[in-house]
């Protein structure tokens, strides 16, 4: 059994808890800014912060569950919960955008004075600076640990930063020009930006549910194998790879010389498995099936000497996602 960091002390769990604590604090700050200004744009920013709190709470739960190692009931791990977390967060973002449109449209039709605008702008500026630091940290930690939930949470926080920046610029224009209708218009633009971010998260989570192929992951695996190819590795096919949260599952067929002893074939399979694990991380699952060669493979085979060769080597294949996947059916 591989050593696994306990869920309570893993870096991604600590990052998720930090996100939750900061989200609660910033919600209080933005709510205060809205109460002193009565601005629809500030309210739109505060509404997104409510979503941040709910999403951060769900992120703490999901990364804790995803960090649990595989067991008898979940042999492929618990990483898929992160797709549910990303879907949930995306839907909450879309809900927030609807609420923002409802509030902002009324402010466009019936603009109202904005008292204490300077104080509200100061509170938003401070909240935006904290959010920028937090968002960059979450995205960096999410990429390092291959956690979709943390990366999604970080991008959501960064969306909040862009929202706050837009609100700050817009309210500064309201302050300078006296055009009160701009408050509602800015809130509408904020709603559109939030909705776009929500659609992106939902799309990514659905692709995870449907176990879509990952071209970047497949190309990375092919590059590893190309750069470390051994003469006895005649060819590979039926290469498949998926991500389940931060775990990666890879399986492929490795074609070896048919006169190779079983013990040596096992060594070659182990060598390829160790290579992939060293590059993909210890939490990767690699399954390699050994196939014997046939005469049709001689033109791409570099094994030498070989008493079974039926033809000269013409050119070794360049392994890519296009020529290492499922064989195409004739017709």
Going from N- to C-terminal start, the domains of the chain cover 7-209, 215-300
- Compare 136 and 72 and report the one with higher pLDDT: 136
Q: What is the pLDDT of residue 268?
A: 94
68, two tokens: 């649990």
Residue that wins the pLDDT comparison between 30 and 11: 30
**Distance from C-alpha of 137 to C-alpha of 249, rounded to nearest angstrom:** 27
How many other β-carbons are positioned within 10 Å of the β-carbon of residue 324?
A: 21
Q: Quick one: tokens of 165?
A: 């920046």
pLDDT band, residue 209 (cuts 50/70/90): low
pTM as predicted: 0.52
pLDDT-above-90 percentage for the chain: 13
Three-class DSSP labels, 153-197: HHHHHHHHHHHHHHHHHHHHHHHHHCCCHHHHHHHHHHHHHHHHH
Reported confidence tier of residue 327, pLDDT bands at 50, 70, 90? low
Task: Inform me whether the pLDDT recorded for 271 exceeds 70.
Answer: yes
- What is the pLDDT of the chain when averaged over all its residues? 78
User: Model confidence at 18, in pLDDT bands (50, 70, 90)?
Assistant: confident
Per-residue pLDDT at 172 exceeds 90? no
pLDDT(70) > 80: no
Q: Token pair for residue 34?
A: 């809205």
Instruction: State residue 4's pLDDT score.
Output: 43
Note the pLDDT of residue 87: 81
Looking at 3.90.1150.10, 3.30.56.10, 3.30.70.1350, 3.30.70.260, the CATH number of the domain 215-300 comes to 3.30.70.1350
Q: pLDDT at position 187, please?
A: 75
Domains 7-209 and 215-300 share a fold: no
**What fold does the segment set 7-209 form as a domain?**
Alpha-lytic protease prodomain-like (1.20.1510)
pLDDT confidence band for 262 (50 / 70 / 90)? very high
């Amino acid at each position: 059994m591989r050593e696994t960091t306990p869920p309570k002390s893993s870096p991604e769990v600590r990052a998720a808890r930090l996100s939750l604590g900061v989200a609660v604090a910033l919600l209080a700050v933005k709510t205060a800014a809205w109460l002193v200004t009565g601005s629809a744009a500030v309210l739109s920013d505060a509404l997104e912060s409510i979503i941040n709190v709910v999403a951060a709470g769900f992120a703490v739960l999901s990364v804790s569950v995803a960090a649990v190692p595989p067991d008898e009931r979940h042999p492929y791990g618990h990483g898929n919960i992160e797709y549910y977390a990303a879907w949930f967060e995306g839907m909450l973002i879309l809900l927030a955008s609807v609420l923002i449109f409802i509030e902002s449209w009324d402010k466009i039709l019936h603009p109202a004075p904005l008292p204490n605008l300077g104080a509200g702008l100061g509170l938003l500026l401070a909240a935006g600076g904290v959010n920028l630091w937090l968002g960059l940290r979450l995205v960096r930690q999410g990429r390092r640990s291959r956690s979709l939930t943390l990366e999604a949470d970080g991008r959501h926080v960064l969306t909040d930063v862009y929202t706050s920046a837009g609100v700050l610029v817009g309210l500064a224009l309201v302050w300078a020009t006296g055009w009160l209708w701009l408050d509602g218009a800015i809130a509408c633009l904020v709603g559109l930006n939030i909705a776009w971010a929500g659609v992106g998260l939902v799309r990514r989570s659905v692709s995870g549910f449907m176990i879509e192929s990952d071209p970047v992951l497949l190309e990375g695996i092919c590059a590893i194998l190309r750069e470390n190819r051994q003469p006895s590795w005649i060819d590979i096919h039926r290469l498949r790879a998926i991500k389940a949260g931060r775990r990666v599952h890879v399986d492929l067929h490795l074609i070896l010389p048919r006169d190779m002893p079983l013990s040596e074939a096992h060594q070659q399979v182990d060598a390829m498995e160790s290579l992939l694990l060293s590059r993909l991380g210890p939490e990767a699952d690699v399954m390699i099936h050994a196939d014997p060669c046939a005469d049709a493979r001689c033109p791409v085979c570099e094994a030498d000497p070989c008493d079974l060769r039926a033809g000269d080597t013409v050119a070794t294949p360049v392994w890519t996602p296009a020529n290492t996947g499922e064989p195409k059916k004739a017709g």
